[in-house]
Structure 1
Amino acid sequence: MSKETEKQRWQRNFADLLQELRVAQTGVQILFAFLLTLPFSNGFTRTTEFQKDVYIVALLAAAAATAMIISPVAFHRALFRQGRKPELVRFAHTMATGGLAFMLIAMVSAVLLITDFVLSRPIAFLLTAVTAVCFLAFWVVLPFARRNWGDDDIADEEDLPARD
């Protein structure tokens, strides 16, 4: 079994990041599209000022998430065939992290908007808080806690052949 070269490792890291961004991109684009159409629906005229403010937060956060999650594609086009894969991977990582943060804000804001529209405000806040805790647990707490669960997996990964 041959060890992967540094160039192969950067290429693999970039391919992994692109796959992750594809998953995130689909979710944020669906949410963004929903938010773009919402003001044109009949029931939107019944929203309160608070709900309109929450809508603007959700819309702008979804727009920011979309911009950040798609930006590695533009960066890749600008650096194409320049041998700067490490720089591209670092940039894509930063944009993916920022995009997920804005996506979290957009998702939680959208939940608050909808629950506040159909339920009482205290219940809406409660359900939104539960949603935020779930997102933070699955997107932040568990992944970062997992980083410290031992080095056994790292040794196992080093024995695997490089992916194409």
Structure 2
Amino acid sequence: ELGKKAQEIMNRGDLVPDDIMIGIIKERLKEPDCTNGFLLDGYPRTEAQANAFDLLLKELNINNLKVINITADDEELVNRLGNRRACKSCNEIFILDDIQNLENCPKCGAKDSFYLRDDDKEDVIRNRLEVFKANTKPVLAHYQKNGNVINVNGIGNIDAVNEVIINLLEKS
């Protein structure tokens, strides 16, 4: 229920309210597969969420937090996200160049199933970037005070950026 509500809000390019997000995160972090670590993408996004998240981590006795800040300029992000397509059948996301000459989804075989998700449309992306600048940059400052932020240049292919992130995490 909370997840569906969150998806509807994100599809508009808006931030999910804090009470919904912390509820989703709390339930997820209690799952056994999070015992030895976890990765959250895009959370916390506001100072209020960061404060609630800090309290949750303390409550769950989770230490050694690292925040990975992957950077790229706005036009690069608009271009990348605008060139993604999802399969209507399996929801797998693909890069447009990789599927341009394909009729069938390489994952599930569905025919003519590729579409541009609402949150990958240019106006929604640009709105999300403005929301990020207004709300999320203070969160980075919040975690930088404690030396928890690892900054990574996001320009390059996914495997190369991933390797940089892994190396930096291993060193920290």
- Which protein is bigger by CA-based radius of gyration? 1
TM-score, normalization by structure 1: 0.26
TM-score, normalization by structure 2: 0.25
Structure with greater strand percent:
2
